[in-house]
Structure 1
Amino acid sequence: MLKIDGITRRFGDVTALDGVSLEIGQGEFFALLGPSGCGKTTLLRILAGFETPDGGSVSLDGADLLTLAPNKRPINLMFQSYALFPHMSVAKNVAYGLEREKLPRGEVKKRVGEVLETVGLSTQANRKPQQLSGGQRQRVALARAIVKRPRLLLLDEPLSALDKKVRADMQLELKRLQHEVGITFVVVTHDQEEAMSLADRIAVFDTGRVRQVDRPVELYERPRSRFVADFVGANNLFAGTAGPDGTLRTENFGTLRGTAVEQVPEGAAALLAVRPEKLELTGDGPLTGTVLDVSFYGGVSHISVEVPGQAKPVLVAVQGASAVKPGAEVGLQWGERDAVLLPAVQ
């Protein structure tokens, strides 16, 4: 539905977007994920019409989007701050865009009623924004965005103003709403958990470029670059040179087993990425070390292990409370398919 081809945007000497190309399908929940300053919000503003790219094209259903004024695009942007009118009721906030289009009063009332029912705010229709919780204000902003029935809804860090518990509830709510209304959602976030829980597919941005586009599970389990492996979730990275069949030759640990996702030439500088939950504590293993710390997080324990020859402690995640204590000598092992061989360069 949406095709972004070679989009470039510069601000003086800074290149915010460097030849970004993406394709987003009808009805997809698509996330732009990356650290602050990586260019994801700039791309969102280009789609909304608030920024003009220096190069590249954007088409919606095959039609050029960049030639249309922001108010003529079948797109709505839900702001990070929600930007609700404080003097208007919930219903008036939601109706504002429809009234500006001069739709019949009966049609406006019907559509506002339907969308407030969808987001579960029918009983709050006459309240002002300051009388609502953060989660409720977020729903008002969402209702105002979807009541105009855009082809594409852009969300800029939509849940960042909410506390952790409300954010988790609203993640489920956003996903439910997206399926219910059938609108294509594009969400910008720097929160990996948020992107993983919401999106059908994720584009990982770094310094104005797209490093990888994949479904959440593939992105997590099969990163294709050092940046993605390090940015998306916790990872243990071991350095060496690429051996045959996805193995890594190291100076301190001999040959470590793994699986190659990207082709890494034998003898080239490489990394082996192993997720904390893929590591097992044993009496012996390819790595041995000393437990530094054990942290309990309810359902999971994180165990930090100092391994001689490894610059950073190795992180191990185990289910439930761990019986291992700081100072214990342990071995570490993993399955061949649980480690990913990557090129050392970005």
Structure 2
Amino acid sequence: MLKIDGITRRFGDVTALDGVSLEIGQGEFFALLGPSGCGKTTLLRIIAGFETPDSGTVTLDGQDLLARQPNQRPISLMFQSYALFPHMTVAKNVAYGLEREKLPRQEIKQRVGEVLETVGLSAHAGRKPQQLSGGQRQRVALARSIVKRPRLLLLDEPLSALDKKVRADMQLELKRLQHEVGITFVVVTHDQEEAMSLADRIAVFDTGQVRQVDEPVALYERPRTRFVADFVGANNLFEGTFGAEGAVRTEDFGLLPGRPLRELETGTRALLGIRPEKLELRDASAGRGLRGSVLDVSFYGGVSHISVDVPGRAKPVLVAVQGASEVKPGAEVKLHWKTDDAVIIPVDQ
């Protein structure tokens, strides 16, 4: 549906986007994920028509999108601040875009009523934005965006202003809405959990380039670059060289077993990544594993995070276990993992 090909955008000496190419399908929930300043919002603004790229093309259903003015594109953009009119009621806020298009009054009333029912705000139609909670204001902004029935809805950090519990509720609400209205959603976020829980596919951005595009599970379990392995979720990374044994050979820890995500030549500088939940804590007398001592144990409700100091490693190794952990700070342990649970990727990527 949406094809982005070779988009480059520079601001003086800063290259915000460097040859970005993506394809987004009809009805897809697609996330642009990356740290602040990586170029994801610039790309969103180019799609919406608020920025012009220095080179590259953007097409929607095969038609040149860049040739159209912003108000002529079948696209809605929901701003981070929601940008609601404080002097208007909820219903008036939602109807505003349709009134600007001079649609018949009865059709506006019907469409506003339908969309307020969809987002669960029918009972609040007569209220002003300041009389609503943060989550309710976000729903008004969503209703205003989808009432025009765009082909594409762009969301810039849509949940950043909400507290944690409301954010979790609205993630479910967004996903439900997207399925119900059948509009293609493109969301910009720096929140990995948000991207993983919402999106069908995720594009990970770094310094103006796309490092990987994948479904959430594949992105988490099979990162193809150092940046993705380090940025998406917690990870324990060990650097060394790829050995003939099919493991990573390190100076301080010997051979560390894992599975290469693609063919690597022996001697290639490589990185071994092990997710915290894939690590197993064993008694110090156990035969195999990395020896270390427990630094700290933190309980997060359903999960405990255990920091383990491993001699020769500057950063503690993070272990995640279900429920409350019985291990105590100061305990001597060994870390063990299955070969298939650790991934090996080239360091130069």
TM-score tier (shorter): over 0.9
Report how far residue 245 of structure 1 moved: 6.2
Q: Determine if the alignment matches structure 1 residue 204 to structure 2 residue 204.
A: yes
In the alignment, which of 331, 336, 341 is matched to residue 338 of structure 1? 341
Report how far residue 344 of structure 1 moved: 1.4
In the TM superposition, structure 1's runs of 4+ consecutive aligned residues that sit over 3 Å from their partners are none
Number of residues paired by the alignment? 346
Aligned to 2:145: 145
Structure 1: unaligned runs, 5 residues or longer = none
Aligned to 2:222: 222
Report how far residue 278 of structure 1 moved: 0.1
In the alignment, which of 295, 298, 303 is matched to residue 292 of structure 1? 295
Tell me the secondary structure at the aligned position of residue 193 of structure 1.
helix
Q: Determine if the alignment matches structure 1 residue 20 to structure 2 residue 23.
A: no
Tell me the secondary structure at the aligned position of residue 52 of structure 1.
coil
Aligned to 1:252: 252
Report how far residue 311 of structure 1 moved: 1.6
Equivalent positions of 1:127-276 (< 5 A) are 127-244=127-244, 246-276=246-276
Aligned to 2:326: 323
Tell me the secondary structure at the aligned position of residue 186 of structure 1.
strand
Contact conserved, 1:256 with 1:286, CA < 8 A, in 2?
no
In the alignment, which of 291, 303, 307 is matched to residue 306 of structure 2? 303
Contact conserved, 1:7 with 1:57, CA < 8 A, in 2?
yes
Distance 2:319 2:46 in 1: 42
Report how far residue 342 of structure 1 moved: 1.1
1:320-343 superposed Cα distances (whole Å, 9 cap, x missing partner): 111111111101111111101011
Distance 1:236 1:226 in 2: 11
Aligned to 2:8: 8
Letter in 2 for 1:259: R
Distance 1:141 1:289 in 2: 51
Aligned to 2:113: 113
Letter in 1 for 2:15: T
Report how far residue 265 of structure 1 moved: 2.5
Contact conserved, 1:291 with 1:325, CA < 8 A, in 2?
yes
Which region of structure 1 is more displaced relative to structure 2, 259-268 or 280-289?
A: 259-268
1:90-116 superposed Cα distances (whole Å, 9 cap, x missing partner): 000000000000000000000000000
Distance 2:16 2:225 in 1: 20
Distance 1:244 1:61 in 2: 49
Distance 2:301 2:124 in 1: 36
Tell me the secondary structure at the aligned position of residue 161 of structure 1.
coil
1:228-282 superposed Cα distances (whole Å, 9 cap, x missing partner): 0100010000111012464101112211110111433220111100000000011
Contact conserved, 1:245 with 1:259, CA < 8 A, in 2?
no
Tell me the secondary structure at the aligned position of residue 148 of structure 1.
coil
Distance 1:3 1:91 in 2: 35
Tell me the secondary structure at the aligned position of residue 91 of structure 1.
helix
Report how far residue 122 of structure 1 moved: 0.1
* Cα separation, partners in 2 of 1:138 and 1:246, compared to 1, 3 Å: farther
Distance 1:297 1:191 in 2: 19
Report how far residue 71 of structure 1 moved: 0.2
Letter in 1 for 2:71: N
Tell me the secondary structure at the aligned position of residue 264 of structure 2.
coil
Letter in 2 for 1:337: D
1:75-131 superposed Cα distances (whole Å, 9 cap, x missing partner): 000000000000000000000000000000000000000000000000000000000
Tell me the secondary structure at the aligned position of residue 158 of structure 1.
coil
Contact conserved, 1:246 with 1:341, CA < 8 A, in 2?
no
Structure 2: unaligned runs, 5 residues or longer = none
Distance 2:200 2:264 in 1: 28
Tell me the secondary structure at the aligned position of residue 325 of structure 1.
coil
* Cα separation, partners in 2 of 1:186 and 1:241, compared to 1, 3 Å: same
Report how far residue 310 of structure 1 moved: 1.4
Which region of structure 1 is more displaced relative to structure 2, 250-259 or 31-40?
A: 250-259
